[in-house]
Structure 1
Amino acid sequence: MQLSRILKPEAVKVYGTMSSKKRLFQELGEIAAVAYGFGISDAVDALQERESLGPTGVGHGVALPHARLSGLEKVSGAFIRLEKPVDFGAVDRQPVDLVFGLFAPHDSGVEHLKALALVSRTLRDVTVCAKLRANADPATLYAVLTEARASEAA
């Protein structure tokens, strides 16, 4: 699996600041709604429901909020880079500036887990994160994200 299969270029955004985790979820929902055509409120509610089970801030300024949604045909992603990190309740108590939201069909099973593992591996790569933090152009961010693991698969 490659990130280019689950992430569209138009689902990559850069924001200066975000007032809260809730607002961040709202933006992820709006990005996903535009890029993939599913309901904003469904996406936001699903992200918040999953987050209530435990924080998806994995440390080092990275968060991987994810949720299952009815009506999806395939796993889809949305990426946000924040200029100013936001408190996310991450495991290391550090604010978050790189956020990859993942949406999966309710019955996706192993595909959801594979996609989550791929995103996690990609954003654990210190070099990839440094490149993401050094760029503010969504097209460049998309290229960094999708090329990171594609080169390893070859």
Structure 2
Amino acid sequence: MTLSEILKPEAIKVVASASSKKRLLHDVGDLANSVYGYETAGLVTALMERESLGPTGVGNGVALPHARLDEVKDMSAVFLLLEKPVDFDAVDRQPVDIVMALFAPEAAGVEHLKALALVSRTLRNGDLCKKLRANHDASTLYALLTSDQNIQAA
């Protein structure tokens, strides 16, 4: 599995600002709706339920919200770059400006974990995150995220 298999070029958006974590998750849901046709309210509810188990802000300004839903047939993702970081209850208490949200079929166990591992490894790369933060063009962001196709899920 590679990022280009789960992330469409049109599933990338630069957001000027989000007023809160909840608003940011709504932005994620809206983007997933416009790109993949997923029902926004259900996505947001599933993401909020997952966040109630523990925040998905993994540190260094990165969040990896994720959810499994019946309506999702194939692993998919959206990416948001925030021009103004937002508090996301991250483990390091730092605001988040890079968000990669994953959506998996309800029955996806191992596949979901592999996708999470792939995204986590990718966004743990400090040099990549620096490049992402320096670019606000969606096509450039997509190219940066998918350029190293050698990074694969376990």
| TM-score class, shorter | over 0.9
TM-score by length of 2: 0.96
Q: What are structure 2's unaligned runs of at least 5 residues? A: none
Partner residue, 1:104: 104
Name the CA distance, whole Å, in 2 between partners of 1:23 and 1:152.
31
| Matched position secondary structure for 1:108 | coil
Q: What are structure 1's unaligned runs of at least 5 residues? A: none
- Residues 27-57 of structure 1 show CA distances to partners (whole Å, capped at 9, x for unaligned) of 1001001111110001100000000000000
TM-score by length of 1: 0.96
1:5-154 matches, cutoff 5 A: 5-148=5-148, 150-152=149-151
Q: State the shift of 1:151 in Å.
A: 3.8
- Residues 55-111 of structure 1 show CA distances to partners (whole Å, capped at 9, x for unaligned) of 000000000000011121111100000011000000000000000010101001100
1:92–1:5 Cα change, 3 Å: same
- Residues 103-135 of structure 1 show CA distances to partners (whole Å, capped at 9, x for unaligned) of 101001100000000000000001110110010
Name the CA distance, whole Å, in 2 between partners of 1:71 and 1:46.
12
Counterpart AA for 2:75: V
Name the CA distance, whole Å, in 2 between partners of 1:6 and 1:146.
10
Q: State the shift of 1:147 in Å.
A: 1.1
Name the CA distance, whole Å, in 2 between partners of 1:152 and 1:117.
10
State the identity as a percent. 62
Counterpart AA for 2:23: R
Runs of 4+ in 1 over 6 A off after TM superposition: none
Name the CA distance, whole Å, in 2 between partners of 1:116 and 1:50.
14
Counterpart AA for 1:137: D
Name the CA distance, whole Å, in 2 between partners of 1:108 and 1:74.
9
Name the CA distance, whole Å, in 1 between partners of 2:38 and 2:119.
21
Q: State the shift of 1:152 in Å.
A: 4.4
